[in-house]
Chains A and B, each alone.
Chain A
Amino acid sequence: MPTLTYDKKDFFSLLGKLVSEEELVDLLSCLKAELTEYGENISVEFNDTNLPWIWSVEGLTAMLRGLLGVEKGLATVDVKKPERQAIVDKVAGRPFVATFVAKGKMSDALLENLIQLQEKFCESFGKKRQKVSVGLYPAKNIAFPVRYTEVEGSLAFTPLDGEHMSIKDILEKHPKGKEYGKLLEGMKKFPVFMDANNHILSLPPIINSEDMGKVDASTKELFFDATGTDEKAVRQTAAIFAFALASRGFTIEAMNVSYPKHNVVMPDLTPQEVKLDMGLVDSLLDLDISEPTAKGLLEKMRYGTKGAIQVPAMRSDIMHNVDLVEDVAAAYGYGKMEPVPVTSHSIGGTTPLQEFADDVRMLLVGTGYQEIFSAMLTNPKSMTKDMRTKAKLVELEAFYSSSYSALRNWLTPVLVQFLTQNKHVDYPQHVFEEGLVTNEKLQDERKLAFASAHNDVSATEMKEVLDFVFGAVGTKYEVKEKDLDWCIPGRSAEILVNKHPVGWFGELHPEVLANAKLEVPVAAAEIDLGRLHDYLTAS
């Protein structure tokens, strides 16, 4: 979730009113945002990734002015008629474009603001520049019409902070090329903006040209572009940046964007028209408010209410009337709503297997075993090689650490690792864990494992516990001697119920103990509780 930082003086000058830290926290909470810093700067974390308009300090303060009652109704921008043109060729893989020109007074502070917005916006809303990316250029050097087209990778220009080089080289060698180059992977030709004199402006979404695309505080006229894979998002992006610049006193001049077969004018500030469903307001909020009241609340959230509801072009998050209902509720104030208890009758309960597992856990506690609780992600080697056995595990495609790169498929190794961690603690040690493991068929199994570690441990000790547990749950079990890879030969056996295997017990093999760097003998047992429960309930 993006966090943006604003200059406090600038913030309040845009807001047109001073508010206390406490007040600001409450106001921001209506916008699903959190104040994370209130000092020389103001930092805000935005939880709603669907409303990037308010990430700009201009959009945010416009919204807050509405909530404060300083200003209300549809937030929009005056746009001058288009005089210049962007010609858009067919660009496979990145087809959509919006451009405009903005005239006004740039400053270092404003530029810093714009660049922050551009970065956070393209990173989060733009899906790391894949869905949308934004470019800003000084307009004075550009010969219009500009053209958005595809070129060969051999074409060369000078990227920002780089030498004159081919597009192919930019993608391989330039830091931005290395970072974002994968967005153009597999393309035979590459998207560029060029002006009427065939000067390259940029290689979207990677980098601007050093000669044509370097904006500074002296820039008086800006050329803006947004390109991307999602038409709606590209249009919305242009509206958001136009709103931000217009709020700073820039004049926004629209441009004709000419696709091969159709023409659009950008930025497009036409609001989305939605009819407010008062029935839904009542049934979801139960606040007993009239339509004018509800509309008044929406005006505070910067909607237009002439006839139907007008949604600012800077937002595209109104998919259903429930979205308007929430804004009515937010402007009304959640804190002012009287809670209503849920009174419908229902009978609570858990699953029979959960109850069985809990009973068995208490039995283990009764025998003096300490319960442990472990992570399910594990190191594959600890499950297999370290235990002298092989198995196919559920392994992850990507992971931070190999210690957490697969799901456990049995619990005994978890106990062994636990014992290793506690070599310095008094023996005897008796531990157990009950929980889920996942087999290679991606199915979960409910297991119980217990282990005893001390100088005189033996498989017989496991049998004593098993006798107690099986006796208490009311079933007989059979012991079938079987040499298991992880046990001392001749000292392990399978546990059968109704002739079906439900587990095993035995003394762990010295090699297993050596792998775990354990210096005491260990006896262990593991039972499939799910299977055991099935047999118990079947019989």
Chain B
Amino acid sequence: MSLAQSLHPLERQVLPLLKTAKTVPELAAESGLPEVSVVRALQWLEKKKLVTTKTSKETHFDATERGKQGLPEKAVLELVIQRPQAIKDLGQIQGGQAAIGVLRQQGLITVNKGNVEATPEASKATFPEESLLKKMPCVPAKDDKAAALSLQRRGLIKEESKKTVKAFITDAGKKIVQQGLAKMADQLTPQMLQDGSWKGKNFRRYDLTSVAPRLHGGKLQPYKKFLDSVRKQFISLGFQEMDGPIVESDFWDMDALYMPQFHSARDIHEGYYVKNAPLADIDSGVMKRVKEAHEKGVKGSTGWQYDFDIDHSKRQLLRTQGTACSARMLASKDLKIPGKYFAMSRCFRYDVIDATHLPDFNQVEGIVVDKNLTLRHMIGLLKQFAKTFAHTEEVKVVPGYFPFTEPSVELFAKHPDLGWIELGGAGLFRPELVQPLAQKDVQVLAWGIGVDRLGMFNLGIKDIRNLFSKDLAYLRKAKV
């Protein structure tokens, strides 16, 4: 491979111009390239030892902003020649005070009782500094050194330096130019393919190690993708997905789950009630059965023994728990026995917003309906979930409390770094819940998984708000 082949088009444009040493502006003018491109080409060429550069520094002086307004003593003198001036007025002029001092020393003015007057010599006065100031920018001649120093001291001119880069072609460079760069091709074109002119051409070699422009491809949102995977796993375990509305009635959200209307267990469910919502439309049959279960119980149960308020039950709020979907399913004519159901639902709780609480959160809930299900089945199912979703066999089940299950279970799984974490709650639905809804002699295993927490562990997220990330840079960088 020849070095020539790896030259960038910019390098190929600049190198042949260097028959004699040239500066960057000269090369830019000659090639028609912007100076930055020339500088880049020279840098690359120098790296390849085809060019050497020499940087020289030149110093010159230029007038400052003040200097551009002229020499203060001349301005002062001109005023004084016209008519005598009060010393304090002249002091107002920029550099005026110093000018008065200089002019007095030279015998061009006199000061009398605060007034400044011109002497007869004034009209013939010359100012060597002024002519130097007018020449700016320049490199002062030897004779002007004293004047330059004085001007610089007074802040009327300042020293500036400028770098000049001069490029020289090396022998290697000359050799490449002699070999001829004309046979090089940049791009393979359709034309070349059609007329065969690609033959005999050398294609420029690319530097494939250099940084490429960034591409932001499309991706799924990481947490949503995690939820997709949870859905697939439930389907593969034989669960059918259920659905339910975001705006729910108290009835399906709580009453149908046998949570008494007065009970403190409802405190944590104190939800977001909808402003000016009409009363929900609930089938009167199921309403009556649920009301009776609350007031008097079902067979074998005392019930909660209070007056159930139907209007209260029809109030509408944002769903507080995915179990509402399970209640709807149990009461549905589509319920299959045996059946397994799950719902991935957005739920809402009246809560402060911080790193661990969102008013908006996701829940995965579900039920298994069959005859002859026991607490041991419940534990078996939970262990299966821990294996599937938390990839651990190390689980702990302890009694839990949920108003709608009895017996109730809480499931903990051992996280390799974080120790025991609560995965979710479960239990057998109470008969006071099952009988009014399903009206059948069945057992219902019910469970809920705090999927947001699971997602946080899975994605290594510390702040729950990042599940709904608003940071595009994070989403673009997120691993799949």
Contacts and interface: CB of A to CB of B under 8 A. Distances in A.
B445 A348 contact: no
B177 to A, nearest CB: 40
Interface string B389-425: 0000000111111010011110000000000000000
Interface in B107-159: none
Nearest to B379: A339
* Interface secondary structure of B, over-half rule: mixed
Interface stretch (B51-59, B282-290, B353-361): B353-361
Contacts of B37: none
A398 interface: yes
Interface residues of B, number: 98
Interface string B188-228: 00000000000000000000000000101111110110001
B376 A326 contact: no
B240 interface: yes
A432 to B, nearest CB: 8
Contact of B359 (A30, A345, A375): A375
Contacts of A430: 216, 218
Contacts of A286: 374-376
B235 A348 contact: yes
Given A232-B305, A285-B376, A339 B383 contact: yes
A202 B262 CA distance: 26
Contacts of A361: 220
Nearest to B361: A375
Contact of B318 (A351, A368, A407): A407
Given A371-B219, A372-B221, A340 B340 contact: no
Contact of B219 (A124, A329, A341, A370): A370
Contact of B407 (A319, A326, A344): A326
Interface stretch (B10-18, B41-49, B160-168, B294-302): B294-302
A373 B223 contact: yes
Contacts of B262: 127, 131, 230
B275 interface: yes
B218 A369 contact: yes
Contacts, number: 266
B398 A334 contact: yes
A331 to B, nearest CB: 10
A197 interface: no
B252 interface: no
B348 A377 contact: yes
Contacts of B241: 349-351, 354
Interface string B347-387: 01011110000111000000010101111110111111000
A421 B340 contact: no
Contact of A50 (B217, B224, B401): B401
Contacts of B346: 376, 436
A375 B301 contact: no
Interface string A426-456: 1001110000101000111000000000000
A173 B311 CA distance: 35
A32 B401 contact: yes
A330 B375 contact: no
Contacts of B348: 376-377
Given A348-B235, A351-B241, A49 B406 contact: no
Contact of B397 (A125, A230, A335): A335
Nearest to A32: B401
Contacts of B430: 320, 322
Interface string B263-291: 11101100011111100000000000000
Interface in A285-328: 285-287, 319-323, 325-326
A346 B476 contact: no
B244 to A, nearest CB: 9
Given A329-B399, A340-B377, A400-B350, A322 B224 contact: no
Contacts of B431: 320, 322
Contacts of B219: 365, 370-371
B472 A371 contact: no
A428 to B, nearest CB: 8
B470 interface: yes
Interface in B213-259: 214, 216-221, 223-224, 228, 231, 234-241, 243, 245-247
A368 B407 contact: no
Contact of A396 (B264, B275, B428): B275
B236 A348 contact: yes
A20 interface: no
A517 to B, nearest CB: 15
B347 to A, nearest CB: 10
A417 B234 CA distance: 34
Contact of A418 (B339, B353, B470): B470
B182 to A, nearest CB: 37
B456 to A, nearest CB: 14
Contacts of B234: 348
Contacts of B277: 394, 442
Contacts of A398: 272-273, 350
B246 A407 contact: yes
Contacts of B305: 232
Q: Which 5 A-B pairs have CB atoms at the shortest separation, nearest pair first?
A: A339-B380, A348-B235, A326-B407, A344-B338, A48-B401
24 contacts: A125-B264, A283-B372, A283-B374, A284-B375, A320-B430, A325-B407, A334-B375, A339-B383, A342-B340, A342-B373, A346-B340, A347-B238, A348-B235, A348-B340, A365-B218, A371-B221, A371-B475, A373-B224, A394-B277, A407-B246, A425-B473, A426-B214, A430-B218, A442-B274
Interface of A: 1, 29-32, 47-50, 124-125, 127, 131, 230, 232, 277, 283-287, 319-323, 325-326, 329-330, 334-335, 337-342, 344-351, 354, 358, 361, 364-377, 394-401, 404, 407, 417-418, 421-422, 425-426, 429-431, 436, 438, 442-444
